[in-house]
Amino acid sequence: MTWLSPAFPIGGFSYSHGLEAAIANGTVINRVGLHDWIKTLISVGSVWNDCVLLGQAHSAIMPENRAYCLAMAEALAGSKERHLETMKQGAAFLSAAREWLSEDLPQVAALPVAVGFAAQLNGISKHETLVAYLQAFATNQLQAALRLMPLGQTNSLWVQKTLEEAILNVAAKALNSSFDDFGSSTVFAEIAAMQHETLRSRIFRS
Protein backbone atom coordinates (compact mmCIF):
# COMPACT_ATOMS: atom_id res chain seq x y z
CA MET A 1 0.00 0.00 0.00
CA THR A 2 2.17 2.80 -1.35
CA TRP A 3 -0.75 5.18 -0.80
CA LEU A 4 -0.59 4.87 2.96
CA SER A 5 3.18 4.77 3.36
CA PRO A 6 4.81 7.79 5.01
CA ALA A 7 6.49 8.50 1.65
CA PHE A 8 3.20 9.21 -0.09
CA PRO A 9 2.93 13.00 -0.36
CA ILE A 10 -0.16 13.83 1.70
CA GLY A 11 1.70 15.71 4.40
CA GLY A 12 0.80 13.34 7.24
CA PHE A 13 4.03 14.20 9.08
CA SER A 14 2.73 17.70 9.85
CA TYR A 15 -0.34 16.62 11.86
CA SER A 16 -0.38 15.16 15.38
CA HIS A 17 -4.17 14.74 15.77
CA GLY A 18 -4.03 16.45 19.17
CA LEU A 19 -1.12 14.36 20.48
CA GLU A 20 1.17 17.40 20.67
CA ALA A 21 -1.22 19.06 23.13
CA ALA A 22 -1.69 15.83 25.12
CA ILE A 23 2.08 15.53 25.54
CA ALA A 24 2.51 19.24 26.29
CA ASN A 25 -0.08 19.19 29.09
CA GLY A 26 1.34 16.03 30.64
CA THR A 27 -1.49 13.66 29.71
CA VAL A 28 0.77 11.34 27.69
CA ILE A 29 4.13 10.89 29.42
CA ASN A 30 5.49 7.41 28.60
CA ARG A 31 5.19 4.45 26.23
CA VAL A 32 2.27 2.87 28.09
CA GLY A 33 0.39 6.16 28.07
CA LEU A 34 1.13 6.60 24.37
CA HIS A 35 -0.07 3.08 23.59
CA ASP A 36 -3.29 3.58 25.57
CA TRP A 37 -3.92 6.95 23.90
CA ILE A 38 -3.57 5.55 20.36
CA LYS A 39 -5.48 2.36 21.19
CA THR A 40 -8.41 4.34 22.62
CA LEU A 41 -8.50 6.61 19.56
CA ILE A 42 -8.64 3.72 17.12
CA SER A 43 -11.05 1.57 19.18
CA VAL A 44 -13.59 4.10 20.47
CA GLY A 45 -12.51 7.47 19.13
CA SER A 46 -12.15 9.63 16.06
CA VAL A 47 -10.16 7.00 14.18
CA TRP A 48 -12.89 4.42 14.74
CA ASN A 49 -15.25 6.88 13.03
CA ASP A 50 -12.68 7.21 10.22
CA CYS A 51 -12.78 3.43 9.79
CA VAL A 52 -16.59 3.45 9.55
CA LEU A 53 -16.34 6.25 6.96
CA LEU A 54 -13.66 4.41 5.00
CA GLY A 55 -15.79 1.27 4.94
CA GLN A 56 -18.87 3.14 3.77
CA ALA A 57 -16.88 5.04 1.13
CA HIS A 58 -15.44 1.75 -0.12
CA SER A 59 -18.98 0.41 -0.64
CA ALA A 60 -20.41 3.63 -2.09
CA ILE A 61 -20.79 3.45 -5.84
CA MET A 62 -23.90 5.50 -6.54
CA PRO A 63 -23.25 9.28 -6.67
CA GLU A 64 -25.76 9.99 -3.89
CA ASN A 65 -24.04 7.50 -1.57
CA ARG A 66 -20.68 9.05 -2.31
CA ALA A 67 -22.07 12.53 -1.68
CA TYR A 68 -23.42 11.37 1.68
CA CYS A 69 -20.01 9.96 2.68
CA LEU A 70 -18.34 13.24 1.73
CA ALA A 71 -20.79 15.37 3.70
CA MET A 72 -20.81 13.05 6.72
CA ALA A 73 -17.01 12.97 6.97
CA GLU A 74 -16.65 16.73 6.81
CA ALA A 75 -19.48 17.28 9.33
CA LEU A 76 -17.92 14.81 11.81
CA ALA A 77 -14.57 16.59 12.13
CA GLY A 78 -14.48 17.78 15.74
CA SER A 79 -12.48 21.01 15.65
CA LYS A 80 -10.90 23.59 13.34
CA GLU A 81 -7.59 21.74 13.14
CA ARG A 82 -9.14 18.27 12.91
CA HIS A 83 -11.16 19.61 9.99
CA LEU A 84 -8.02 21.03 8.38
CA GLU A 85 -6.11 17.79 9.00
CA THR A 86 -8.60 15.49 7.31
CA MET A 87 -9.61 17.82 4.45
CA LYS A 88 -6.06 18.90 3.48
CA GLN A 89 -4.74 15.34 3.60
CA GLY A 90 -7.74 14.06 1.67
CA ALA A 91 -7.27 16.62 -1.10
CA ALA A 92 -3.52 15.93 -1.27
CA PHE A 93 -4.23 12.19 -1.39
CA LEU A 94 -6.67 12.53 -4.28
CA SER A 95 -4.23 14.70 -6.18
CA ALA A 96 -1.29 12.32 -5.64
CA ALA A 97 -3.34 9.18 -6.34
CA ARG A 98 -4.64 10.48 -9.66
CA GLU A 99 -2.12 8.30 -11.53
CA TRP A 100 -3.87 5.21 -10.17
CA LEU A 101 -7.43 6.34 -10.76
CA SER A 102 -9.36 5.55 -13.90
CA GLU A 103 -12.37 7.56 -12.79
CA ASP A 104 -12.66 11.20 -11.84
CA LEU A 105 -13.11 11.63 -8.13
CA PRO A 106 -14.05 14.84 -6.36
CA GLN A 107 -11.08 17.08 -5.58
CA VAL A 108 -12.21 17.65 -2.02
CA ALA A 109 -12.79 14.82 0.43
CA ALA A 110 -11.92 13.93 4.00
CA LEU A 111 -8.97 11.52 4.10
CA PRO A 112 -10.76 8.24 5.01
CA VAL A 113 -13.39 8.84 2.34
CA ALA A 114 -10.75 9.64 -0.30
CA VAL A 115 -8.87 6.44 0.61
CA GLY A 116 -12.08 4.37 0.55
CA PHE A 117 -13.09 5.63 -2.88
CA ALA A 118 -9.63 5.10 -4.37
CA ALA A 119 -9.21 1.61 -2.90
CA GLN A 120 -12.58 0.49 -4.22
CA LEU A 121 -11.76 1.78 -7.73
CA ASN A 122 -8.49 -0.14 -7.71
CA GLY A 123 -9.96 -3.40 -6.45
CA ILE A 124 -8.12 -3.29 -3.13
CA SER A 125 -10.13 -5.12 -0.48
CA LYS A 126 -11.86 -3.18 2.26
CA HIS A 127 -10.14 -5.20 4.97
CA GLU A 128 -6.66 -4.64 3.56
CA THR A 129 -7.36 -0.91 3.23
CA LEU A 130 -8.63 -0.65 6.80
CA VAL A 131 -5.56 -2.38 8.22
CA ALA A 132 -3.26 -0.15 6.16
CA TYR A 133 -5.16 2.99 7.22
CA LEU A 134 -4.95 2.10 10.92
CA GLN A 135 -1.29 1.14 10.58
CA ALA A 136 -0.57 4.44 8.85
CA PHE A 137 -2.32 6.37 11.63
CA ALA A 138 -0.38 4.54 14.34
CA THR A 139 2.94 5.03 12.55
CA ASN A 140 2.22 8.71 12.10
CA GLN A 141 1.41 9.11 15.81
CA LEU A 142 4.65 7.32 16.72
CA GLN A 143 6.67 9.54 14.40
CA ALA A 144 5.10 12.56 16.06
CA ALA A 145 5.76 11.16 19.53
CA LEU A 146 9.44 10.57 18.70
CA ARG A 147 9.76 14.29 18.02
CA LEU A 148 7.68 15.40 21.01
CA MET A 149 8.78 13.23 23.94
CA PRO A 150 11.84 11.26 25.04
CA LEU A 151 10.51 7.95 23.69
CA GLY A 152 13.35 6.29 21.77
CA GLN A 153 13.23 3.70 19.00
CA THR A 154 12.94 0.66 21.29
CA ASN A 155 9.88 2.01 23.08
CA SER A 156 8.40 3.17 19.80
CA LEU A 157 8.72 -0.36 18.40
CA TRP A 158 7.18 -1.77 21.60
CA VAL A 159 4.13 0.49 21.12
CA GLN A 160 3.92 -0.49 17.44
CA LYS A 161 4.01 -4.19 18.26
CA THR A 162 1.59 -3.90 21.18
CA LEU A 163 -0.92 -2.06 18.98
CA GLU A 164 -1.00 -4.83 16.36
CA GLU A 165 -3.77 -6.82 18.03
CA ALA A 166 -6.00 -3.76 18.47
CA ILE A 167 -5.44 -2.72 14.84
CA LEU A 168 -6.55 -6.12 13.57
CA ASN A 169 -9.56 -6.20 15.92
CA VAL A 170 -10.70 -2.72 14.92
CA ALA A 171 -10.27 -3.49 11.20
CA ALA A 172 -12.33 -6.69 11.57
CA LYS A 173 -15.07 -4.84 13.46
CA ALA A 174 -15.12 -1.97 10.94
CA LEU A 175 -15.46 -4.40 8.05
CA ASN A 176 -19.09 -5.04 9.00
CA SER A 177 -19.95 -1.58 10.25
CA SER A 178 -22.57 0.83 8.95
CA PHE A 179 -23.35 4.52 9.43
CA ASP A 180 -25.26 3.49 12.59
CA ASP A 181 -21.95 2.50 14.18
CA PHE A 182 -20.49 5.98 14.45
CA GLY A 183 -19.57 6.73 18.02
CA SER A 184 -16.75 8.26 19.96
CA SER A 185 -15.99 8.19 23.68
CA THR A 186 -12.74 10.12 23.52
CA VAL A 187 -13.82 13.46 24.97
CA PHE A 188 -10.38 14.40 26.30
CA ALA A 189 -8.70 13.56 22.98
CA GLU A 190 -11.20 15.87 21.26
CA ILE A 191 -10.41 18.53 23.85
CA ALA A 192 -6.65 18.06 23.30
CA ALA A 193 -7.20 18.65 19.57
CA MET A 194 -9.00 21.93 20.46
CA GLN A 195 -6.38 22.98 23.02
CA HIS A 196 -3.68 22.58 20.38
CA GLU A 197 -4.96 25.75 18.73
CA THR A 198 -3.83 27.86 21.68
CA LEU A 199 -0.62 25.98 22.55
CA ARG A 200 2.30 28.42 22.92
CA SER A 201 4.89 26.64 20.81
CA ARG A 202 3.83 24.16 18.19
CA ILE A 203 5.65 22.05 15.63
CA PHE A 204 2.53 20.33 14.22
CA ARG A 205 -0.52 21.75 12.47
CA SER A 206 -2.93 19.78 14.67
Q: Is 72 in the site for other proteins (CB under 8 A)?
A: yes
Q: Is 145 in the site for other proteins (CB under 8 A)?
A: no
Residue 109, classed as helix, strand or coil, is coil
Q: Which of residues 22-61 bind other proteins (CB under 8 A)?
A: 22, 25, 27-28, 33, 36-37, 40-41, 44-45, 49
Q: Which is nearer to other proteins, 43 or 121 (CB)?
A: 43
Q: What angle do CA 124, 126, 127 make, to 5 degrees?
A: 110
Question: Which residue stretch of 7-15, 121-129, 147-155, 186-194 sits at the interface with other proteins (rule: CB under 8 A)?
Answer: 186-194
Which of 14, 83, 146, 168 contacts other proteins by CB under 8 A?
A: 83
Are 56 and 179 in contact, with CB atoms under 8 Å apart? Answer: yes
Q: Which of 31, 94, 77 is CA-nearest to residue 206?
A: 77
Q: Is 79 in the site for other proteins (CB under 8 A)?
A: yes
Angstrom distances, CA of residue 70 to CA of 75, 77, 147, 201: 9, 12, 33, 33
Q: Which is nearer to other proteins, 72 or 119 (CB)?
A: 72
